[in-house]
Every structure is written in C-alpha cells, then in structure tokens.
Amino acid sequence: MAETDDLAYDDFALDAEFAAFRTGLLDQITPPGPDAVRSTVRHRRRVATTTGLALALVLVIGPVAAVASLNHTPNPSPSTGTTADPTPSPTVAPTPTPSTAPTTPAAPDGRISPTELRGATVDLPAWRPGPGCPDSGARLTAEGVDDGDNVLVKTAYGDIDGDGATETVALVRCMVGQAGPSQVVAFDRDPAGKIVTLGQVVRSDLNTPQWLLDLQVRANGVVRVQVADLAPGGGWDLDWSQRQWRGYTWNGQRFTQSEGERSFPDNPYNMNLTVTATDLVYGAPDDGGTRTGEITVTMTNVGPTAAPRPRLDFKLTPGGGGSSASPGWYACQEHSMQGEHLYCGLPPLEPGQERKLTFHIVTMGQTPTSGTLALRTLDKDGKIAPDFSDWDNQIDIRIR
C-alpha cells in the first residue's frame, strides 16, 4: 500500500512539472495574426543582414589570406588525420636576365725592358736650359760616347698612374762634358703596344739638384729619386755632394713632389775661396847676400760655407826661401817656413769675410824667379777640402 502511494505522488509531481513547462512555453509562442507576420519579417531581415555581412567578410578575408599564403611557407607536416587542399601556386612572371654591362678594356702592360727601350725612338721631355741632347725622336744608348748622347742609366717599374698596369720609369743622362743634365722620365704603352712618354718626373737644374743618381718605384706608385746638390766634375768629387731621396706622384696630368726635402742646406765641402796678392818685391842683399822680399796677400771667402782651416801655400823656385818676422807669419797657427814650399795655417774664415796679411820671405843665395800661391782649406780630418771653383784660389806670384 505504501508503494502505491509513492507512485501516485511521483505522477502528481511529474504532472505539475509538465504543467509549468507548458505555461512557460505558451508565453514564448505568438498566436497567428499581424504580430506573427511582423515577427517573421524581422527574423528574415536579420538572417539576410547576417548573411550579407558574412559574405562581405569572406570577400575581404579571402584576398588577404591568399597574399598571406604567398608570404609564408606552408607547414610541411599537417596535423595527423587532416588533409589540406592543395593551394594553387600563383603564376610568377619570369625575371628578365640583365644584359651584361660593357667591360673596360684592361690597361696595356707598360713594362719595357732596357733593351727594348734602347731600341726604340722616344720623345723625351725638355732638358734644362743650356747645352743639351735631342729630345724629339731620341735614341737611348747604353753608354755615352759622344756629346749629345742620351744614356739610359737605370729603369724601375710600378703602377704609377693607378690603372692597374705596370709602367716604366727611366733615369736618362745627357752627355755634355763630364757633368751633363739628367732627368727621370715615365714611359707607358698605348693600346696598340707603342711606347709613349707619360711625363717627366724630375730633372737636374743649374742650381740644385745638379745631379740625379738613383730611382725606385714604391708599391703605392710613388716614384722616389735620389738627387745630389752638386754635380761632379771640374775637380769636384761626387762624394762631396749632399744627397736626398725625394718622392713624386702622378696627379693625372703631371708629376708633383709629394715626399722629401725641397732644398739643400749649405754644403760643408762647398768652399769658394779667392786669393789675390801683390808682387813679391825683394830689397837689396845685405852683407851676407841675404835678400828679404815682401808680399801682401788678400784672402776672401765668397762661398756659403765657413772655411774651417784655411791655409796659404807658397811655392818658390828655384832655391826657395824662409820666413822672416812679419805680421803674416805671426798670425799662422801652424806653418812651414823653410824650403821651396812654405805654408801658413790660419784661423777659420767665415762666409763673406776678408783677411789681409803681409809676409816677409827671406832668401839666401839665388833669388826665386817664379812662384805660385794657393789658398785652400782643410776639413776636420786634416785633408784638403774641395773648392767649388778652384780657378780663383790659386795665382802666379810675380817676383821682382
């Protein structure tokens, strides 16, 4: 009986739930009529609007997704169980092959051997003013024989104009006596292989440099030339000349000095002394037959360098003589006053300085009939230093 009551209670409760559900559902259902029609129209408009927006979104997103797919590499390993539809690759226009730009022809090789250079006819830049050698249509020789010969002294090689090819630099000397002019010339080849003159690097001058000795070409194209202040010859030894290395660079039109000194200091060996003298006048002999002569000597330093140890040298023949008390001999710091050769060592003579001394010379027996007088200077080692122009520092002595 209790079980039957429980079932009846459950049925009652279930009926109550369904009744509540129907009541709530009826509130959501619109009965047929104008309200139902308006509801249906509003529903269809919402569906149409939603569909239009969705379609527009697809039209916008589609191209964007397509562009994105071109810029991203597809995942090579799709998820297991998912097969992606293959995306057609966009057609890419073929890239045109660029046309090959015209290449600049390589510069001709300007390395010219000494043999080939001597066998060619070349045009040389102008020599220094004065007597010289041919420059137009010149031939170079290995050794100078006659005046007017252009001697090829030395060659060097390097890229001096920056074109990537080698050029030839030559030291050429003109034969004019013992100390002709010299110049350094750069040669190249034209596209046909003919030897052409690029330009003059440097040339000797009547002042300085008077002599060119050597040349080199560095890896950076600088042409280095060894120059000397004074040329050899006329009693001047090249060992007495000062030397410098100077560098020259091609600027596209000519060579300009880019390294080294541009002038020389005074040459310590470049003495230029002059001497003049009165006649050597002898008086009457004394009771013993001795005669005393007197001579006044004027010494001048006309050179740019001080004479550190000037010396007067007398030579009297025949018989010679000796010294006698006089201002000249008193001024000597060192001397020899007996025999054919008499000399007097004096204090330094500065540039432009003049010194005048009177000497008494004594002879016994035969009186000298001729003589010479020379003015020289000694170097620091006691050797006779050169004189730049030795023709005016030695004179003949007139005796009476």
Q: Which domains does the chain have, with CATH numbers?
A: 114-259 (no CATH), 273-397 (2.60.40.10)
- CA distances, 109 to each of 124, 189, 195 (Å): 20, 7, 10
pLDDT in the model for residue 126: 93
Secondary structure class of 145 (helix, strand, coil): coil
d(CA 29, CA 18): 17
Lowest mean pLDDT among 72-81, 194-203, 277-286, 324-333: 72-81
The answer to whether residues 291 and 363 touch, using CB atoms and an 8 Å cutoff, is yes
Residue 384: band (very low, low, confident or very high) from pLDDT cuts 50, 70, 90: confident
Statement: residue 399 has pLDDT above 80: yes
Average pLDDT over residues 142-164: 92
Mean pLDDT of 363-382: 84
State pLDDT tens for residues 174-187: 998 777 899 999 99
Please report the pLDDT score of residue 96 as a whole number: 54
Which one has a higher pLDDT value, 277 or 387?
277
Task: Check: CB of residue 196 under 8 Å from CB of residue 190.
Answer: yes
Share of residues in the chain with pLDDT > 70 (%): 71
Task: Answer yes or no: is pLDDT of 297 > 50.
Answer: yes
- pLDDT of the residue at 130: 79
- pLDDT of 231: 92
Q: For the residues 310-323, what does the mean pLDDT come to?
A: 81
pLDDT at position 267 is 86
pLDDT at residue 31 is higher than 80: no
For 252-272, what is each residue's pLDDT tens digit? Answer: 999 999 999 999 998 878 788
pLDDT of residue 275: 95
Burial 248-284 (b: 16+ CB within 10 A, else e): bbbeeeebeeeeeeeebeebebbbbbbbebeebebee
> In the chain, what are the helix, strand and coil shares in percent, each to the nearest 5?
20, 35, 45
130, 207 contact by CB (below 8 A): no
pLDDT digits (tens, 9 = 90+) for 321-359: 666 768 888 999 988 766 778 889 999 999 999 999 999
Query: What pLDDT shows up at residue 19?
Result: 52
Mean pLDDT of 305-321: 85
Q: 0.75 cut: is pTM over it?
A: no
Residue 58 confidence (pLDDT) above 50:
no
CA distance 70 to 161: 53
Q: Give the pLDDT confidence of 72-94 residue by residue, as tens digits.
A: 444 444 444 444 444 555 555 55
Q: What is the mean pLDDT of the chain?
A: 79
Q: What is the mean pLDDT of residues 4-25?
A: 49
Per-residue pLDDT band for 7 (boundaries 50, 70, 90) equals very low
Strand locations in 31-181 (E): 121-122, 138-141, 150-158, 167-174
User: Nearest Cα to 276, choosing from 398, 399, 393?
Assistant: 393
Residue 298: partners with Cβ closer than 8 Å, 6 or more residues away: 275, 276, 277, 354, 355, 356
Rounded Cα–Cα distance for residues 204 and 182 (Å):
5
Model confidence at 394: pLDDT above 50: yes
Share of the chain above pLDDT 90, in %: 44
Check the CA dihedral 172-173-175-181 and report its sign: positive
What pLDDT is stored for residue 98 in this prediction? Answer: 54
pLDDT at 24 exceeding the cut of 60: no
Residue 325: its pLDDT value, please?
67
Which DSSP string corresponds to 268-296?
Answer: TT-B-EEEEE--BEE----TTSEEEEEEE
pLDDT over 50 at 390, yes or no: yes
Q: Where is average pLDDT lowest: 125-134, 150-159, 225-234? A: 125-134
Instruction: Identify the band that residue 103 occupies on the pLDDT scale cut at 50, 70 and 90.
Output: low
